[in-house]
Homo-oligomer: A and B are copies of this chain.
């Protein structure tokens, strides 16, 4: 009898696992990341991961339903706590700090290419897309929206400031340049996007 309630929960988050089993899981994810960096996600095979980890293929298939799910778990395990927002009271400075950090993490080496491959895989595999959204995209977006909302409540932004639209305008151009035009992202570019957004969306300089 399969425990349906935990079937789609990332394996290593389940309770009741032995110490050994947890270690085995970590080894497989480490092998996945190693091979991913060496040969790229496209050429990555579960057979190769199993060989590298010294594990049987069953041991992998028992934990993850697909290569994409394994890769997603492995990548996200590197960034457990997520990217948290500073709150200095200055919304623009805080956004700069946070988005610069996000850009450095997600577009540069060593994670950049792997994260791009994960987003690409999400286009083919609905399960990966859902998990990516649920476990990374949405939590991250929520943090941005929450920080913006607080600034709005403090009067730093106009009352009709559209939080979700601002979120998309902050993130969209960065993904666009990474995945479509393949330009390198700089801190200066991040600043220019933020400036363009606020100059137009009703920012009020703190009194």
Contacts and interface: CB of A to CB of B under 8 A. Distances in A.
A10 interface: no
- Taking chain A's interface residues, is the majority helix, strand, or loop, or is none over half, making it mixed? helix
Contacts of A125: 42
Nearest to A126: B182
Interface stretch (A25-33, A73-81, A89-97, A112-120): A112-120
Number of copies: 2
What size tier do the contact residues of chain A reach?
35 or more
A169 B193 contact: yes
Interface string A171-184: 11111110111100
A201 interface: yes
A60 to B, nearest CB: 20
A20 interface: no
A200 B125 CA distance: 38
